[in-house]
Each structure stands twice: as C-alpha cells, then as structure tokens.
A and B are shown apart, each in its own frame.
Chain A
Amino acid sequence: MDQNDSNRASELVELLTSLRGCMCFSCMNPICSHEGLMSVVAGFKDEPRCCDCLAKAMKTGRANARDRMVSFIQGRPCFVTAWNWASDQEGFGKSALPRCLWPGTETPTVASPVEILESKSVTQETPQHDQFWDAGEMGCGDLVLELRVRLRELKAGQILKIAARDPGAPEDLPAWCRMTGHSLVSAKHPEYFIQRKEN
C-alpha cells in the first residue's frame, strides 16, 4: 500500500470512528461500520444509510447492492483496510463475511474483500473500459444528457471511461448513477468509469 492509500485508509477509519452509533439517514435504524463504509462507496458519506436503504437509493435489491459495493471495495487497499477495521470492531474475522451484512444462512456469492486482495494481490488498478469519452469542460445537464446517449450506445455491462473536468462532476456523476441505476465503477476526478446497467 503506497502513501496515498495509507493516508486515505486513515481518513476512512477516522470517518468510520465518527459514524459509530450513527443512525441511517433514511430509516433511522442503527448502522454498522461496514454500512458506513458502503455509504462512502455509494456517495452517501454525509448521509450514511443502512444496507437496505442504500439498496433503495441504488434502485436495486439488498444483495445486489451489497455485492456491488463489496466488489468496489475489493480492489482498493485503502477501503480494505477500513473494512478490516470495521470487522475488528465488530468481532468478525478478517477473512469472514460479517454477519451484519450476511445474516442467517444466506450463501455468500462474493468473497470477502480480504480474501480477494490477498489471493490476487490486487493493487489500485485502473478499471478496464470499452469506450472513452473526453467530456472536457461540459457540465450540468449537457454532461448527463450526452452521457446518457453514449451509454445507450454500449451493451449492458460495458464500461465507459469519461474525462469530465467540470467542477460539478464529482457530485453530479455519482448522483446521476444512483438515479439511473448505472454503476459508477471508479471516480477519481476528472476520470470516471461508468458501467452500463442491464436493460
């Protein structure tokens, strides 16, 4: 883990610490640290939600939303560090899928972030993409309207890489993805990777 990852991991742990005892912004039920971390992934850092309410915001089922967010976490060492911290705090083993998110007898369909990271030695990779679009300074309605057209030209599951330098893009593109159901695979302003949803 390089220095940037290490710094980011510290920030995430600090954030999760501050969220201890926090209630879901939507339903007011208590959220666990894993849900706090998933809220960061889903763009709800300031309005953390429980897994069920995150799934509602993403317009998908709980298991699908959870697994998508865990997949996001898996490839990012800083997020994995924060995930481990959450598991330690809640008394789960590092390689186990925490029961707060996989309750009862449900058979996990994803590996734990730690297993994936250790087995594949995943570093912070740039996601693969199928198309690239340099949106330049385009922003606001123009940006998402053109983005909509370009994603429609892709097949379900394909990924569009976008260079969007508008200062509103860091807030806008995650919000647009949450509303439309497309997956924001990676967001490091000004580069964004968006995976087209199923029809």
Chain B
Amino acid sequence: MAGKFCVSLTCAKDNTDKATVAFVIANAAVASDKDTLVFLSIEGVRVSQKGYTDDVHESGFAPLKDLMASFVKAGGKIFVCSPCFKKRTLDENNLVEGATIVGGAKLVEFLSDNAPSVSY
C-alpha cells in the first residue's frame, strides 16, 4: 500500500451524518490502496459495538453497518480509544470485526510516518 491515511471519528448516534461520512471517506482511502485507520474516540467508540449501527442509514448514503463491513473487508483497521470505551462501560467482547481497543501509543505510532488525518 502506498502511504497511510487516518480518519478520526468522535461521533456516533449524536451525529449520524458525521459517522456515516467518516466511513465513506475511509472507504475511499482504503480503495485507493492507502493503509487506512479509523480511530474511534469520544462518542465514536459506540459504533464499535455489534448491532449499534444497525438502524443508522443516512439519506443518500449506504447504511453505516454496510460501510463499516466494506471497510474492514477491504483491509481497513478500526482502533477504539481505550479510556473512552471504558468510560462508557461498553463490552469488549462485542466488538465489530476489525476493531481493536488501543491506547494513545498505538495511534501515535500509526501517525508517526507523516500519515494525513481527517476528523469528524
């Protein structure tokens, strides 16, 4: 893959538009052969839970669940902020495929190679 690309998502059902567009952009990056990471933090960690996004379908976009599945199937990675996850007492045994709970060091390592990042 030629280069890295990070999409930072801080929203879930508090802003389904942002959550959806984040994965649309992530899919564009992974489809462009970028080593792509979606970093979920703040409220965004909620989309890491299986079933949570089942009813999220923004007009004019594919359902969020399908966007996330396509992203992972194409080789994209999802990092889930550990303290944000713990604060919301979510279930680490109920993560969607491709999601990994990480702390800041893992994100810093990914971004250390001058990876561009876009935030939603």
Known contacts: A167-B85, A168-B82. The answer to whether A179 contacts B112 by CB under 8 A is yes
Which stretch of B21-29, B63-71, B100-108 is in the interface? B100-108
Q: How far is the CA of A172 from the CA of B82 in the complex (A)?
A: 10
- Do the beta carbons of B85 and A172 come within 8 Å of each other? no
- Do the beta carbons of A139 and B83 come within 8 Å of each other? yes
B11 near A: Cβ within 8 Å? no
Which stretch of A106-114, A117-125, A140-148, A191-199 is in the interface? A140-148
Known contacts: A139-B83, A140-B81, A167-B82. The answer to whether A172 contacts B112 by CB under 8 A is no
How many residues belonging to A are interface residues under a CB distance threshold of 8 Å?
Answer: 19
Q: What is the interface of chain A, defined by CB distance below 8 A to chain B?
A: 25, 47, 137, 139-141, 143-144, 166-169, 171-173, 175-176, 178-179
B109 near A: Cβ within 8 Å? yes
Encode contact with A along B12-44: 1 for CB under 8 Å, 0 otherwise.
000000000000000000000001000000000
Q: How far is the CA of A137 from the CA of B92 in the complex (A)?
A: 14
Q: With a CB–CB cut-off of 8 A, which chain A residues contact B81?
A: 140, 168
Q: What is the interface of chain B, defined by CB distance below 8 A to chain A?
A: 1, 35, 79, 81-83, 85-86, 92, 100-106, 108-109, 112
Q: With a CB–CB cut-off of 8 A, which chain A residues contact B106?
A: 168, 171-172, 175
- Do the beta carbons of A141 and B104 come within 8 Å of each other? yes
Known contacts: A139-B82, A139-B86, A140-B81. The answer to whether A167 contacts B92 by CB under 8 A is yes
- Do the beta carbons of A143 and B103 come within 8 Å of each other? yes
Known contacts: A139-B83, A140-B81, A140-B82. The answer to whether A171 contacts B108 by CB under 8 A is no
Q: How far is the CB of A171 from chain B (nearest CB, A)?
A: 4
Q: How far is the CA of A179 from the CA of B108 in the complex (A)?
A: 9
Q: How far is the CA of A176 from the CA of B85 in the complex (A)?
A: 20
Contacting residue for B102 out of A47, A172, A179, CB 8 A: A172
Contacting residue for A178 out of B79, B83, B102, B109, CB 8 A: B109
Known contacts: A140-B81, A140-B82. The answer to whether A172 contacts B92 by CB under 8 A is no
When C-beta atoms are compared, the residue in chain A nearest to B85 turns out to be A167
Q: With a CB–CB cut-off of 8 A, which chain A residues contact B86?
A: 137, 139, 166-167
